[in-house]
């Protein structure tokens, strides 16, 4: 382990939690001590929130790290990792708020893959909340991509929780792996089917779910038809969550699109008591349509999640991200990885195909699980 702390500026890029999540993962995986200043400087309330603090504590427990500055509102943190040698079969992270459970998964999952033994991670907070992926997106869009790298995870949704009450609970079970394998995703293919789930919970009426589904369907048909793209079969389900598996009132919609080359895109949105500028069904449809219309193999939310997998994988990875530049979240993740691992030869590069779509490339460092070697 390097004894010198790598210093990181938390205001880098989008100035949110991405710097914290990526740097903590890489710190634990490569045993690099880090010091982060200006944590979440770009947010209305800078510093660690409950969700971020629980992420720090979770990774700390996983690798027996020495940490300073781990408290609510802290804008400076030092993290000196030990080994990812699990001494427990269960880890618990409870935000006691509606903090996004999927962001806890993002920070714990890479570390769990390269730990010494399988464990279950009990994560409590919000499953369907603003400013983070919904749990259905993680299971239906992220997981298939994750499996392309040669890994897998099991997610059991015990209880769903909505903003502002939270109260959701998810159990994630991960078996460690020897290594990840680089992937090549450069052919987006054509849409072959679109599925979705539109739900309401608590006292929210079922007609809200039906309205979101109708808005999503009509928007997808209209936008694809305008561009002479064949509209695939669309199957959207509406339902009322059972009260024993959902805490609080809420509504939302999740859409997925599969293509002829097995790319999977997602789109999601949450209902709101206040009149939103864009209806949630239309917002989810627009997110789903975006990668199709810009000739991408991953949607915007997958971009930032794929960066660390490309870094850790053995061999080259090539992913077409479309005619738009990388999202700010993905660019931030890439920059943090290069700052921390540039001295080991990590480099990202970008090229364009004949249609003007950007292809992100990375020759992964090929991390090996020392406990399984």
Asked whether the beta carbons of 159 and 247 are under 8 A apart, the reply is yes
Consult the annotation and say whether 214 binds a ligand: no
Tell me whether residue 305 is annotated as binding.
Answer: yes
| Residue found by looking up tokens 């309330």 in the block | 45
C-alpha pair distances (Å), 198 with each of 10, 141, 307: 36, 16, 30
**Residue 235 designated active-site:** no
Q: Residues 6 or more apart from 17 whose CB is under 8 A from it?
A: 40, 51, 52, 103
Measure the CA dihedral 43/46/52/53, to 10°: -170
Residue 180 is labelled as binding a ligand: no
The answer to whether residues 11 and 38 touch, using CB atoms and an 8 Å cutoff, is yes
Residue 238 to residue 113: CA distance in whole angstroms: 35
Exposure class string for 137-162: b at 16+ Cβ within 10 A, else e: bbbbbbbebbebbbbebebebeebbb
> Vertex 109, ends 41 and 373: CA angle to 5°?
125
- The response to whether 302 counts as a known ligand-binding position is yes
Cβ pair 196, 209 in contact under 8 A: no
User: How far apart (Å, rounded) are the C-alpha atoms in residues 194 and 218?
Assistant: 13
**301 assigned ligand-binding residue:** yes
- Out of 173, 207, 274, 329, the active site residue is 329
Report whether 287 belongs to an annotated binding site: no
Binding residues for ATP: 106, 301-305
Point out the annotated binding site: 106, 301-305
Q: Which residues are catalytic?
A: 329
């Amino acid at each position: 382990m390097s004894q010198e702390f790598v210093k990181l500026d938390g205001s880098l890029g989008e100035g949110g939690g991405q710097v914290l999540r990526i740097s903590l993962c890489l710190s634990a995986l490569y045993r690099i001590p880090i010091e982060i200043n200006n944590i979440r400087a770009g947010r209305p309330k800078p510093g660690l929130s409950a969700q971020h603090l629980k992420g720090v504590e979770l990774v700390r427990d996983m690798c027996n790290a020495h940490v300073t500055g781990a408290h609510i509102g802290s804008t400076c943190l030092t993290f000196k990792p030990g080994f990812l040698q699990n001494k427990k079969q269960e880890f618990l992270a409870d935000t006691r708020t509606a903090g996004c459970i999927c962001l806890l998964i993002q920070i714990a999952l890479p570390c769990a893959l390269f730990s010494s033994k399988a464990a279950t991670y009990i994560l409590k907070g919000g499953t369907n909340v603003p400013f983070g992926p919904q749990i259905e997106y993680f299971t239906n869009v992220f997981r298939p991509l994750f499996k392309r790298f040669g890994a897998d995870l099991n997610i059991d949704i015990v209880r769903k929780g909505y903003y502002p009450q939270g109260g959701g609970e998810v159990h994630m079970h991960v078996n460690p792996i020897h290594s990840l394998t680089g992937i090549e995703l450069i052919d987006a293919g054509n849409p072959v089917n679109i599925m979705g789930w539109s739900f309401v919970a608590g006292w929210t009426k079922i007609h809200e779910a039906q309205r979101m589904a109708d808005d999503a369907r009509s928007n997808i048909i209209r936008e694809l038809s305008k561009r002479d793209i064949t509209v695939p079969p669309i199957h959207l389900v509406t339902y009322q969550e059972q009260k024993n598996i959902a805490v609080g009132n809420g509504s939302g919609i999740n859409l997925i699109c599969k293509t002829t080359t097995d790319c999977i895109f997602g789109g999601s949105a949450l209902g709101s008591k206040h009149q939103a500028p864009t209806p949630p069904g239309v917002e989810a449809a627009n997110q789903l349509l975006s990668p199709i219309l810009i000739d991408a193999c991953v949607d915007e939310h997958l971009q930032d999640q794929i960066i660390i997998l490309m870094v850790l994988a053995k061999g080259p990875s090539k992913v077409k991200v479309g005619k738009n530049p990388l999202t700010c979240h993905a660019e931030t993740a890439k920059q943090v990885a290069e700052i921390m691992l540039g001295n080991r030869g990590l480099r990202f590069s970008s090229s364009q195909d004949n249609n003007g779509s950007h292809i992100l490339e990375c020759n992964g460092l090929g991390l090996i699980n020392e406990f399984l070697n």
